Structure 1
Amino acid sequence: MHAPAPPLRIGVVGCADFARRRMLPVIAADPGLRLAAVASRSEAKAARFADAFGCAAVHGYDALLAAPDIDAVYLPLPPMLHAEWIERALRAGKHVLAEKPLTADAAGTERLLRLAADRGLVLLENLVFPHHAQHAAVRKFLADGAIGEVRDVAVAFTIPPRPEDDIRYRPRGGGALLDMGVYPIRAALHYLGPEVEVVGAVLRSQAATGVVVAGRVLARTPAGVTADLAFGMEHSYRTSCEFAGSAGRLQLDRVFTPPPDFPPVVRIERQDGREEVVLPADDQYANVVRHFVHAVRTGTPAQAEAEAEATLRQARLVGEVESRAVRVTV
């Protein structure tokens, strides 16, 4: 029998609150990983995170990337810092799990994906919802004709206003388009395929900062299936997806952020009645971490290529939104 491979030694570049709440607990619990170190530009912050998760504290991102005993990094920095530090990590020979989006533009995303491929390293965007089992179940309902032929998809991810000092309101935080908008955009690609294109959009921006706080996008497939995609951070909380078909409707709530113990409910409405299907709970954060470890261990080129193409197409659609949008200042 072969001895099991030793755990990948992973370091964390940055001490974001999301990382502390969602990702570091599952990283620390995964048997395929050993959480080795957390780096921050603040020694005190690195020490607090390290104490909470039983790993080393590192002062400065470069110091962590230079460490020879780190195989991979998780990067939860603000969106506008991703490109620089993903590139530095790859050039340091580290596999990278990076928060979404990889970069703020398609050209930068393509360049980094090519750099990772050329160096034989895994670069995975941490957009977790496709790794939740509910989406495979919904795809099967649609493929089996539960609502006939899909005519339209409506997807929303909105949250209430945040405190004024929230990173999302700063230019380096990327605003609502890069923080929330990528979710409905990726959902359209996930369900309608790679040929989705943007028809038009509206973006609402703060006058003082230029940061996007909300938006709505109309997209379509070549066959004319439409996608209405809403996002923002000046709303009530909503993460929903509704499919309208030739024979009914299918609705799914908690599309992007279901807790690990939450059993999703699919609601199907047809002319002859309604039904609710309760799906098993699933942990999308643990799933994506396992997926990352598996990709590093096995190096599956076909899968990596398909994921890279989806990430790149998503980045291109974000660019289409920015170039075609009507902009409103608030």
Structure 2
Amino acid sequence: MNDPIRWGILGASNFAQRDMAPAIHAARGNVLSALATRSPDKAAPFADLVPGLRIHDSYDALLADPQIDAVYVPLPHTMHIEWGLKALDAGKHVLVEKPVAMHADDIAPLIAARDRTGLIAAEAYMIVHHPQWHLVRELLADGVVGRLRHVEAVFTYDNSGDPANIRNRAATGGGILPDIGVYTFGSTRWATGAEPDAITHADLDWEDGCDVLARVSARFPDFTAHWVNSMRLLPEQFVLFHGEAGLIRLTAPYNAARFGEAWVEWRGRDGVTHTRSWPGVDQYVLQVEAFAAAVRGEAAFPWTLEDARGTQKVIDMAYAAAGDRPVS
């Protein structure tokens, strides 16, 4: 049996504590070995999860730890490229939280460093590891909906009561499109294998330099898409793939098991409705296991930095089409 992949986490973020640290701890063939934080209070929940966890008081110290194979980077968005590059230069495989960068062109140095070092570097885009999305991709490829004509995707939540949240701060790469526009935009791209020709409509609401509500429409070669993302609306998420001969609907496409049970429904002209669900599947655990398989050379990681760059390009296009980003 292969030795487990030994992980370190840069920063004790709430998301790392709630989702990724437990996922690393639960994933087969992986162990959470170290955390970098100067705050004993923030380190405590991680140490409770993994007794004996090594706590480093700086990110550089963790990267210098010879007992770390892979590093997870959940830092503010504007720090992802910097510390992803440092992790690769330190000889560590690196899983960078989304979005990898604030602009598509900024991802090029990380791709170059990945290729130069031969290490695995990828974006933590957990939805492509969930079997519901693999089913949707197969159904579309098999022509279950006939000719696909439209995709409707909604992902919203409300963090208006948390002004200190990095998503509400322009200086830390805040904004709704970097945070969850990656999911509505990226899932459409990944499921269909298509790229948009143009953004046909982009209406963004801004607060303190951050986009907080986005309504974006795109034209693809064979279909249209409309995406709604917000951090000022009641939580909701769904995706609808609507074709001439059928449709596919996902009711918890992005936060499966957190927002609701993963559930895919599809039907055709015969009116017969088919459903499938995946109770108990943790896409974060699957993501860690897939990353470890890539490190061991057992399988390709299903979401590359090039995939991440493609989605960021669409986000860049949406901002350009909106044309009203406040000057900071």
Q: Provide TM-score, normalisation by structure 2.
A: 0.90
2:15 to 18, 32, 42: 18
Partner letter of residue 150 of structure 1?
L
Q: Which moved more, 1:291-300 or 1:239-248?
A: 291-300
Distance 1:8 1:267, change over 3 A: closer
Q: How many residues align?
A: 321
1:205 maps to what in 2?
Answer: 206
Deviation at 1:260, TM superposition (A): 7.7
CA distance in 1, matches of 2:316, 2:38: 31
CA distance in 2, matches of 1:271, 1:261: 30
Which whole-Å deviations, capped at 9, do the CAs of 1:219-257 have from their partners, x for residues lacking one?
Answer: 22223x111111111111111100111123321110001
1:142 maps to what in 2?
Answer: 140
1:312 maps to what in 2?
Answer: 309
Q: Which moved more, 1:257-266 or 1:53-62?
A: 257-266
Partner letter of residue 217 of structure 1?
V
2:252 to 245, 251, 254: 254
**Does the alignment pair 1:27 with 2:6?**
no
CA distance in 1, matches of 2:147, 2:196: 17
CA distance in 1, matches of 2:141, 2:313: 27
Partner letter of residue 204 of structure 2?
L
Partner letter of residue 255 of structure 1?
P
2:193 maps to what in 1?
Answer: 193
**Contact 2:146–2:243 (8 Å) recurs in 1:** yes
1:114 maps to what in 2?
Answer: 112
1:217 maps to what in 2?
Answer: 216
**Contact 1:72–1:94 (8 Å) recurs in 2:** yes
1:152 maps to what in 2?
Answer: 150
Deviation at 1:52, TM superposition (A): 3.3
**Contact 1:249–1:270 (8 Å) recurs in 2:** yes
Distance 1:202 1:34, change over 3 A: same
**Contact 1:96–1:124 (8 Å) recurs in 2:** yes
**Contact 1:198–1:321 (8 Å) recurs in 2:** no
Aligned CA-pair RMSD: 2.2
Identity of matched residues, %: 36
For residue 236 of structure 1, give the secondary structure of its aligned residue in structure 2.
strand
Partner letter of residue 102 of structure 1?
V
2:70 maps to what in 1?
Answer: 72
Partner letter of residue 199 of structure 1?
I
Partner letter of residue 204 of structure 1?
D
1:84 maps to what in 2?
Answer: 82
CA distance in 1, matches of 2:106, 2:117: 17
Partner letter of residue 203 of structure 2?
V
Deviation at 1:34, TM superposition (A): 2.0
Distance 1:78 1:122, change over 3 A: same
1:165 maps to what in 2?
Answer: 164
Deviation at 1:305, TM superposition (A): 9.3
**Contact 1:177–1:231 (8 Å) recurs in 2:** yes
Q: Which moved more, 1:286-295 or 1:108-117?
A: 108-117
CA distance in 2, matches of 1:8, 1:221: 40
CA distance in 2, matches of 1:277, 1:51: 39
Tell me, which stretches of 5 or more residues in structure 2 are unaligned? none
Q: Provide TM-score, normalisation by structure 1.
A: 0.90
